[in-house]
Amino acid sequence: MSLKHEHHHHHKRGEWSSSLGFILAAAGSAVGLGNIWKFPGRAYRGGGGAFLLVYILIVVFIGSVAMLSEFAVGRNTNSNAVGAFNKLNPKWKIAGWLGIITGFIVSCYYIQVGGWVLNYIIAYVTEPSAVFADPLNYFYGVLGANGFPLMGAIVYPAIFIGICMFVLFKGVSGGIEKFNKIAMPGIVFLLLVLLVRSVTMPGAMEGVKYLLHVDFKTLTSGTILSALGQAFYSLSIGLAIMVTYGSYLKKEENIVKNVGYICFFDTMVAIVAGFMIIPAVFATGVDPGIGGGFAFASLAGVFHQMSGGAFFGALFYLLLLFAALTSEISLVEGTIAFISEEYHVNRKKTIIILGVVMFVIGVFYTLSQLYLPIKGVWFDLANGLQFPSFGDFLEFVTDRLLMPLGALLFCIFVGWVWRPENAIKEVEQDGAFTFKLAKLWSVMVKFVVPVAIFIVLVCGLVFGMSIS
């Protein structure tokens, strides 16, 4: 490839303007709804302190290894997830496609959940008493229990994806980076305000003790699997995102250091969310569930019993909104980069078409919850497990099957096909620093991480629901 062409190619693509911008954007992608509504519930079920410890070890030794692989491939090829494999080894294109497809599916249902979050911000500001009066029924109303959910499935999700499209229109440094420079400090600030409010509630200290108490008897294989699954899910691995975000990195960036910052940031947010939700739950006696029902329905019980509950409730959903937006933007960007580069479609046109298509598909996610109950059609062949809805089926397929599969293929590719030495060369390529843990990283990416992911995959599919 001639230099002139290389330069032209590089110039056309977006680029992060600063280290901080990239770290915040990638951390913003990683910090999503899972950190705030899945992590605390899993930590609670996993016995508190022991779960936190195992989770941190998994992020350090497994999550960071997979993330570094994706960044190295992205920056080396300056390409979207499919284009990257086209350049390195076209036979492995399926790994890129898998990431794109998974990211696409997740972004469709994320739009809807983002819409529900918006709905709740407005509800806590305008009619908290209606939410508090019957939290579960209020949530069901949003989902369409009392007739077509115009606001919950159409209006609010449309506003949510509209905000994402607006940011994406402005490009990589002018849009994604700028937005994350506001949203990420916003997330930290809101988390800390809510943390202080939560731990000062009477009885909250029991929850803090629970999270700090490490009892290895609570560590079952299920707990460890739950932590493994959560780590992958939380770090946005296997979704074509980190390849794409890595491809916008300048060559002089220190990838290893950045991975450290991103993993640290993402894990801190999850842990702080744990220390925000678990103590509040202990103080009020509400059962900490996992997922939407908990975040939208059960938590209302916590806010109801809290002084200034409506205000702090609104802040909590604002926090969720920031987390959802930064993740959705990255999810969509992975697909935008793919379509605009592989099929040479203008970026703005891609954004509009994609936004509309994702929105329309997503509407069925909300409708399938209550309004159009397609019961018993969605099941897991291995166990004949019935899924309550199309939405649950989608989440199962992405979380348990597609994401880990994408991450597995990626690590096998980097470890055995592209080879770790090439990745290390890419990481060290400006010569300004050496990758000190390169040997350990090579062993991890070749042996340890693929085995760990394989176990998650098998257990997630075979034992299905038990690792929630």
Tens-digit pLDDT profile for residues 240-287: 999 999 999 999 899 999 999 999 999 999 999 999 999 999 999 998
Mean pLDDT of 114-142: 96
91 C-beta neighbours (distance < 10 Å), count? 10
Question: To which residue do tokens 């492995």 refer?
Answer: 92
Cβ contacts of 218-223, under 8 Å, gap ≥ 24: 218/46, 218/47, 218/48, 218/50, 218/51, 219/46, 219/47, 219/50, 219/51, 219/54, 221/459, 222/463, 222/466, 222/467, 223/45, 223/46, 223/47, 223/50, 223/51, 223/54
Looking at per-residue pLDDT, the higher value among 455 and 383 belongs to: 455
pLDDT band at 458 (very low <50, low <70, confident <90, very high): confident
CA–CA distance, 73 with 424 (Å, rounded to integer):
10
CATH domain 41-467 topology: Hydantoin permease (1.10.4160)
Mean pLDDT of 120-134: 96
Mean pLDDT of 416-430: 91
Q: 385 pLDDT exceeds 90?
A: no
* pLDDT value at residue 2: 44
Mean pLDDT of 398-417: 92
Task: State the SS3 of the chain.
Answer: CCHHHHHHHHHHCCCCCCHHHHHHHHHHHHCCHHHHHHHHHHHHHCCCHHHHHHHHHHHHHHHHHHHHHHHHHHHHHCCCHHHHHHHHCHHHHHHHHHHHHHHHHHHHHHHHHHHHHHHHHHHHHHCHHHHHHCHHHHHHHHHCCCCCCHHHHHHHHHHHHHHHHHHHHCCHHHHHHHHHHHHHHHHHHHHHHHHHHHHCCCCCHHHHHHHHCCCHHHCCHHHHHHHHHHHHHHCCCCCCHHHHHHHCCCCCCCHHHHHHHHHHHHHHHHHHHHHHHHHHHHHHCCCCCCCHHHHHHHHHHHHHCCCCHHHHHHHHHHHHHHHHHHHHHHHHHHHHHHHHHHCCCCHHHHHHHHHHHHHHHHHHHHHHHCCCCCCCCCEECCCCEECCCHHHHHHHHHHHHHHHHHHHHHHHHHHHHCCHHHHHHHHCCCCCCCCCCHHHHHHHHHHHHHHHHHHHHHHHHHCHHHHC
Amino acid identity of 322? F
* Percentage, residues of the chain above pLDDT 90: 73
State whether the Cα torsion 392-456-36-173 is positive or negative. negative
State whether the Cα torsion 452-457-463-468 is positive or negative. positive
* pLDDT value at residue 432: 62
* pLDDT value at residue 462: 74
Tokens of 105: 């599916």
269 C-beta neighbours (distance < 10 Å), count? 24
* pLDDT value at residue 447: 96
**In the chain, where are the structural domains located?**
41-467
* pLDDT value at residue 139: 94
* pLDDT value at residue 119: 97
pTM: 0.93
- pLDDT tens column, 311-369: 999 999 999 999 999 999 999 999 999 999 999 999 999 999 999 999 999 999 998 88
CA–CA distance, 408 with 420 (Å, rounded to integer):
15
* pLDDT value at residue 289: 81
Q: 3 pLDDT exceeds 60?
A: no
Residues forming a β-bridge with 160: none
Q: 178 pLDDT exceeds 50?
A: yes
Range with lowest mean pLDDT among 31-40, 103-112, 288-297: 288-297
Mean pLDDT of 39-49: 91
* pLDDT value at residue 388: 67
User: Using CB atoms within 10 A of its CB, is residue 186 exposed (0-12), middle (13-18) or buried (19+)?
Assistant: middle
128 contacts 311 by C-beta, under 8 angstroms: no
Averaged pLDDT score across all residues of the chain: 90
Question: To which residue do tokens 């943390």 refer?
Answer: 195
* pLDDT value at residue 374: 60
Going from the C-alpha of 312 to that of each of 191, 266, 300, the distances in angstroms are 11, 23, 11
* Percentage, residues of the chain above pLDDT 70: 92
pLDDT band at 436 (very low <50, low <70, confident <90, very high): confident
Cα-Cα-Cα-Cα torsion 309, 314, 319, 322, nearest 10 degrees, comes to 180
CA–CA distance, 293 with 468 (Å, rounded to integer):
14
